[in-house]
Amino acid sequence: MTFYLLQALNGLAYGMLLFLLAAGLSLIFGLMEVVNLAHGGFYMLGAYLALSAVRWTGSFWIAAIAVPLVLGAVGFLLEWEFLRPLYRRTHLDQILLTFGFAFVFSDLARWWWGADVQSLAPPPGLDRSIPLLGTFFPSYRLFVIALGAAMAGGLWLGLGRTRLGAMVRAGVANREMAQALGIDIGLVFTGVFAFGAALAGLAGVIAAPIQGVFPGVDFETLIVTLIVVVVGGLGTLPGSFWGSLLIGEVDTFGKTLVPQMALVVTYLVMAAVLIVRPTGLFGGRPR
> For 213, phi and psi rounded to 5 degrees?
-145, 140
286 binds other proteins (CB under 8 A): no
Site for other proteins in 121-140 (CB under 8 A): none
Would you call 236 helix, strand, or coil by DSSP?
A: coil
Asked if residue 184 binds other proteins (CB under 8 A), the reply is: yes
Q: Which of 170, 223, 263, 265 binds other proteins (CB under 8 A)?
A: 170
Cα–Cα dist 281/42, whole Å: 26
Is 155:23 a contact under the CB 8 Å cutoff?
yes
DSSP 80-138: IIIIGGGTTS-HHHHHHHHHHHHHHHHHHHHHHH-SS-B--PPPTTSSSEEEETTEEEE
List Cβ neighbours of 170 (8 Å cut-off, separation of 6 or more): 177, 178, 181, 183
| 183 sits near other proteins (criterion: CB under 8 A) | yes
> CA–CA separation, 161 vs 92, rounded Å?
33
Choice between 275 and 285, CB closer to other proteins: 285
Near other proteins by CB under 8 A: residue from 178, 194, 198, 269: 178
Residue 249 Cβ vs other proteins, minimum distance, rounded to whole Å = 28
Handedness of CA 188, 193, 197, 199 (dihedral sign): positive
Least distance (Å) between residue 96 CB and other proteins? 24
263 by DSSP, 3-state: which?
A: helix
Contact window for other proteins (CB under 8 A) among 134-142, 171-179, 197-205, 273-281: 171-179
CB of 190 to other proteins, least distance (A): 14
When the beta carbons of 185 and 200 are compared against other proteins, the nearer one is 185
Q: Is 146 in the site for other proteins (CB under 8 A)?
A: no
Residue 169 binds other proteins, judged by CB under 8 A:
yes
- Which of 181, 257, 258, 268 forms a contact with other proteins (CB under 8 A)? 181
Is position 157 an interface residue for other proteins (rule: CB under 8 A)? Answer: no
Asked whether 78 and 100 are in contact (CB, 8 A), the reply is no
Interface with other proteins by CB under 8 A: which range of 24-32, 142-150, 159-167, 202-210?
A: 159-167
- The verdict on 155 binding other proteins (CB under 8 A) reads no
Among 74, 185, 197, 230, binds other proteins (CB under 8 A): 185
Using CB under 8 A, list all residues that contact other proteins: 163, 166-167, 169-170, 173-174, 176-185
